């Protein structure tokens, strides 16, 4: 018998073979990239702010947790499938519009009401703005110098980006960018807390550790950050050192916690663009009709993918009537499952649920 040796994998020839796992490779490449960028931006580490060292360590730990969580999630069969197909559709003409609605304007929350949309805009953009300011400062990609003539120079990646008056509008925004983001986050968090305490349905669904604690962490970080500004302006620096440590520890704890709790949806949010592209593209190809009521509910591609993924995990939902449970729309699927316990063929009743087309 002849063996085709050319198809055998040659060990040690791939870059992946140098690492123990995808997690190890991702962490090595990310940390190496950060160090190289910091080396360039700080002009060979000549402009390093050691006061931000704790934030730097917390950020590196956050990246480790993020890659661990993302890779664990991305290795699941359904996630791997939609990411693979979503990346192929990344350059669709509608991608800029989708990205804007999902990541900028939060159009997908608008249907839930103006209150919840405002709440998410404040919290989401407040956190994003804070991260966009903090990370470059922590790793030395951006810093500021001030000359004797009262001019303020913003240095980005080792290059003088612009020189502005120290008492001008741009300098004011630079000084107070984190204060502005803190006010936005506090506003959004207070709106979320009010809704979760007053809305009966939300109260029934919430838990302290998963739903409330992330909000309290964001609130504490924002309040301690504003307290630093208050101390410097009105108390002439009294208590600054203690408050600086309290704020730094609160930020580090929040960063370490972020990849493992509800706040993880902030860095994971860009994946929604891939999911939307996947649904929209294949919905334009062909829609799947429900085997019971005939309603078009998902694309044929998505329905087939669900069946394939369930088969990969050795989960079968084939019914004795000859269809797969994934071939039923959600109302008929629920009625069919009720029928298995009641003995009454509720899935054959041609009556729609009152809230099946509800928004929000």
- DSSP-H helix ranges across the chain: 22-41, 53-74, 77-88, 95-99, 107-110, 114-138, 169-198, 200-205, 213-234, 240-257, 265-268, 271-285, 300-312, 330-342
Task: For residues 260 and 304, state if they share a domain.
Answer: no
Task: For residues 149 and 241, state if they share a domain.
Answer: yes
Q: Is 66 exposed, middle or buried (0-12, 13-18, 19+ CB in 10 A)?
A: buried
User: Within a 13 Å sphere around the CA of 207, how many CA atoms are in the beta-carbon half?
Assistant: 4
Whether 327 is in a domain gets the answer yes
* pLDDT at residue 290, as a whole number: 86
Whether 7 is in a domain gets the answer no
Q: Which domain holds residue 136?
A: 21-270
Q: Are 66 and 72 in contact (CB under 8 A)?
A: no
H or E element: which one contains 161? Answer: strand 159-165
Measured N-to-C along each axis, helices 77-88 and 53-74 cross at an angle, to the nearest 10 degrees, of 100
The structure tokens 């990370």 sit at 135
pLDDT tens, position by position, for the chain (360 residues)? 344 444 445 555 676 777 777 778 888 888 888 889 888 888 888 877 778 888 888 888 888 888 888 888 888 888 888 889 988 998 889 999 999 999 999 988 988 889 999 999 999 999 999 988 888 888 888 888 887 777 888 888 888 888 888 888 888 888 889 999 999 999 999 999 998 888 777 777 788 888 899 999 999 999 999 999 999 989 988 988 999 999 999 999 999 999 888 888 888 889 989 989 998 899 888 898 888 888 888 889 888 888 888 877 666 676 667 778 888 888 888 877 777 776 666 555 555 555 444 443
Task: For residues 298 and 257, state if they share a domain.
Answer: no
* pLDDT at residue 7, as a whole number: 45
* pLDDT at residue 97, as a whole number: 92
* pLDDT at residue 351, as a whole number: 56
Query: What distance in Å separates the CA atoms of residue 177 and residue 126, rounded to the nearest whole number?
Result: 10
Q: Which residues of 9-47 are buried (b: 16+ CB within 10 A; e: fewer)?
A: eeeeeeeeeeeeebbebbbeeeeeebeebbeebbeeeee
Q: Domain total for the chain?
A: 2
Task: For residues 73 and 98, state if they share a domain.
Answer: yes
Task: For residues 40 and 172, state if they share a domain.
Answer: yes
């Amino acid at each position: 018998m002849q063996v085709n040796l050319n198809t055998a994998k040659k060990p040690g020839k791939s870059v992946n073979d140098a690492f123990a796992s995808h997690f190890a490779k991702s962490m090595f490449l990310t940390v190496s990239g950060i160090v190289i960028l910091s080396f360039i931006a700080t002009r060979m580490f000549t402009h390093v702010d050691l006061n931000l060292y704790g934030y730097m360590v917390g950020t590196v730990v956050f990246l480790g947790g993020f890659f661990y969580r993302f890779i664990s999630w991305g290795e699941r069969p359904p996630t791997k499938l939609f990411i693979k197909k979503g990346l192929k559709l990344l350059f669709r003409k509608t991608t800029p519009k989708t990205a804007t609605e999902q990541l900028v304007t939060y159009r997908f929350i608008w249907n839930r009401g103006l209150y919840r949309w405002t709440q998410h805009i404040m919290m989401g953009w407040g956190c994003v703005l804070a991260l966009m300011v903090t990370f470059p400062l922590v790793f030395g990609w951006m810093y500021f110098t001030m000359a004797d003539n009262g001019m303020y120079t913003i240095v980005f990646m080792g290059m003088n980006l612009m020189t502005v008056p120290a008492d001008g509008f741009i300098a004011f925004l630079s000084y107070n960018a984190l204060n502005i983001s803190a006010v936005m986050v506090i506003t959004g968090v207070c709106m979320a807390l009010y809704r979760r305490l007053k809305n009966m349905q939300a109260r029934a669904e919430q838990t302290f550790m998963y739903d409330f604690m992330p909000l309290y962490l964001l609130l504490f970080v924002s309040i301690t950050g504003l307290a630093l500004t208050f101390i410097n302006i009105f108390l002439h620096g009294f208590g600054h050192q203690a408050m600086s440590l309290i704020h730094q520890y609160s930020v580090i704890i929040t960063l370490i916690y972020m990849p493992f709790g509800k706040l993880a949806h902030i860095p994971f949010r860009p994946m929604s663009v891939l999911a939307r592209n996947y649904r929209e593209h294949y919905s334009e190809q062909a829609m799947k009709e429900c085997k019971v009521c005939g309603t078009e509910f998902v694309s044929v591609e998505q329905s087939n993918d669900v069946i394939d993924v369930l088969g990969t995990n050795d989960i079968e939902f084939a019914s004795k009537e000859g269809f797969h449970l994934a071939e039923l729309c959600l109302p008929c699927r629920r009625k069919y499952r009720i029928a298995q316990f009641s003995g009454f063929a509720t899935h054959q009743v041609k009556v729609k649920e009152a809230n099946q087309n509800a928004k929000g």
